[in-house]
Amino acid sequence: MTDSHRWRETCGSCDAARGDAIAEQLAADLRREFLGVTGYSRRNVFYMREFYLAYRDQPKVQPLVAQIGWTHNLIVLQRCKDPLEREFYIRMTRKFGWTKNVRRRVVAVLSTYDDLIENDRRRMALL
């Protein structure tokens, strides 16, 4: 292992540790500032960051995400990596009033369907 490789590994570990420490401190500061309000855990701070990064450049979707709850948004964010797919599920949640369980099932079924179609395409390409 070269010195530069070792240095990059060490630096990456430091950055990750520093990120964890910052998230933990921010969560503690938020809990202290907003007494009695729940949801300011270290994990949620990371979710908030992921949420921001996913939607910061999508002004059309931003008002939509405000119309469904945090847990609903997390399900969509975690299970759908494509921005158009996220927008679709957010719109359908709002339009049909899907519960968390219904949305989980719909996302799982459609994701499985997409995987099957993609596998068929790959198989056909090999022929």
Q: Is 72 left (phi over 0), alpha (psi -120 to 50) or beta?
A: alpha
Q: How many CA atoms lie within 13 A of 3 on its CB side?
A: 0
Token pair in block for residue 69: 């709850």
Which is more confidently placed, 63 or 124? Answer: 63
pTM over 0.95? The answer is no
Domain edges within the chain: 1-56, 58-127
| Helix (H/G/I), strand (E/B), else coil: 39 | coil
pLDDT, tens digit, 9 for 90 and up, residues 39-82: 899 999 999 999 999 999 999 888 999 998 898 899 888 888 88
Which is more confidently placed, 123 or 26? Answer: 26
